[in-house]
Amino acid sequence: MRTDTFQTRHQKSQGARQLLATTAIILAACLPDADSPPGRTETVVETIGDTTVVRTMSGSVWGAEAILVPEITIGRVEGAGEYLFGWIWSIAVDDEWNVYVFDEQAQHVQVYDSAGVYMETLGGRGEGPGEFSRAEAIALLPDGRLVVRDAGNMRVQVFGPGPGVRDEWRYNSGYAYSMGPLYSDGLGRTFLETRDMSRTDYGMHLVVLGSDGTPLDTMPLPSGGYEQATLTAEFSDEGGSGRATSIVPFSPRFIWTVHPNGHFLTGYSSAYRINVPSDDGVLRIERVHDPVPVSDGERESSVERITRNMRNTQPGWSWNGPPIPDYKPAFVELLVGKGGRVWAQLSSEGELIENENYNPDNPGSVPVLWNERLRYDVFEPDGTYLGIVLPPEEFNPMARPVFDGDHVWAVTTDELGVARVVRYRVLVGEG
């Protein structure tokens, strides 16, 4: 396996960065005074070494914002237990559009057909064959097998591809829970984010398993050499010592995911630049955009919240890291659909909403919260910018959505906290 895919590509691109920056300035000066007409895009394509840069200057293929229209809903407020969910942590969808729903609270996976009709339940709480103990996430392999990261039992549970077929692959989780997704690629490999037992700081790494569960490689989590801006608080007394850390709000970070082609799709969110490596080179997706400013209210609220929390560890603590940036990151998450479409979750302007869980007796509870409306930029596999998708308010991105062409499967949470899985269709121009 090529473990140096990103590192090598990153090093090769270092020499081209200065040229790219100069070119970007020249191109920006040529931007039109008004937005491009609907359905028209202005795109610049460059080739630098083995990197093809596709930069959208203005416009989009769709020419208008898109929304998500529900087609199938799985889940109910009450009724048959097969349609009631506790806490959905992970979902997967196979080529027949059968839906797999991992319920962390119940520690099982429920399977539904493409119409949302219940088919079967896999797993259940326990330590025996096919049972879960603190399972976290699921994924599908190209041959239809379902893999489940079961950190509590220190194994990957494998179901299928036929009824009653089961296997398990052991790995040393250190009983640490990553809370992150489980990745697979089109080559049948599984990527486990788990604790690096050689480290004393509880750091994580990636363990790569072949299609038969054989360990192929172990590697650090992709970072691109960037470090997240953080704050620290420390205490020390006769009872011991401790340390708390906090990320500087709105600071850029290095984001990665596993592409179906087996490489890491990456982006450092200080700029709108997404790298999509392949065996033939790198596609770099860029888009000219207006950065979203951090409002005074958001800044003040973040400083107050972090100061209060850090002083629980270190009384008298004061800000000891980089300041909150003036602008939010270009994107906050990167996702890839089955066919290779890239979905970038964007930063948005903050708005105040009522905190439904506000507790006046809790000093750490506040009556209002800052919220950002969910938005995604969507790109074709060749970097063509399609446009923006605006999901509905109940759309919950915490359990990673599944994308297949113009369809999206996602977890929703209503005002009562009831979780469901919904299949949506992308509809352009109806927002």
Q: Extract the runs of DSSP E, i.e. beta strands, from 238-382.
A: 240-247, 254-258, 264-268, 273-278, 281-287, 331-336, 342-346, 350-354, 368-372, 376-379
What's the pLDDT band for 365 if we cut at 50, 70, 90?
Answer: confident
3-state secondary structure 80-142: CHHHCCCCEEEEEECCCCCEEEEECCCCEEEEECCCCCEEEEEECECCCCCCECCEEEEEECC
pLDDT tens per residue, range 282-301: 999 999 999 999 999 999 99
End-to-end CA distance of the chain, in Å? 44
Q: What's the average model confidence in pLDDT over 400-426?
A: 97
Q: How confident is the model over 219-241, as a mean pLDDT?
A: 91
Residue 175 has pLDDT above 90, yes or no: no
- pTM comes to 0.88
pLDDT recorded at residue 84: 96
Give the whole-number percent of the chain exceeding pLDDT 90: 79
Kindly indicate the confidence band of residue 36, based on its pLDDT and cuts at 50, 70 and 90: very low
**pLDDT > 50? residue 343:** yes
Predicted pLDDT at 197: 84
pLDDT at 93 over 50: yes
Q: Name the residue range of residue 84's domain.
A: 5-29+38-428
Closest CA to 396 of 149, 72, 89, 76: 89
**Number of compact structural domains in the chain:** 1
Q: Residue 38: its pLDDT value, please?
A: 58
Q: Give the helix/strand (H/E) hosting 5.
A: helix 5-28
Read off the pLDDT of each residue in 4-22 and give the average, rounded to a whole number: 36
Q: Which tokens is 7 given?
A: 């590192």
Indicate whether 22 pLDDT > 90.
Answer: no
- Above 70 in pLDDT, residue 29? no
**Residue 216 pLDDT more than 80?**
yes
Integer Cα distance of 53 and 56 in angstroms: 10
Contact (Cβ atoms closer than 8 angstroms) between residue 167 and residue 213: yes
pLDDT above 80 (res 203): yes
pLDDT at 431: 55
Q: Which residue has the higher pLDDT, 367 or 267?
A: 267
Whether the pLDDT of residue 15 is over 80: the answer is: no
At residue 35, the pLDDT reads: 41
Give the number of other CB atoms < 10 A from CB of residue 336: 18
Query: Quick one: tokens of 210?
Result: 């072949």
CATH number at residue 62: 2.120.10.30
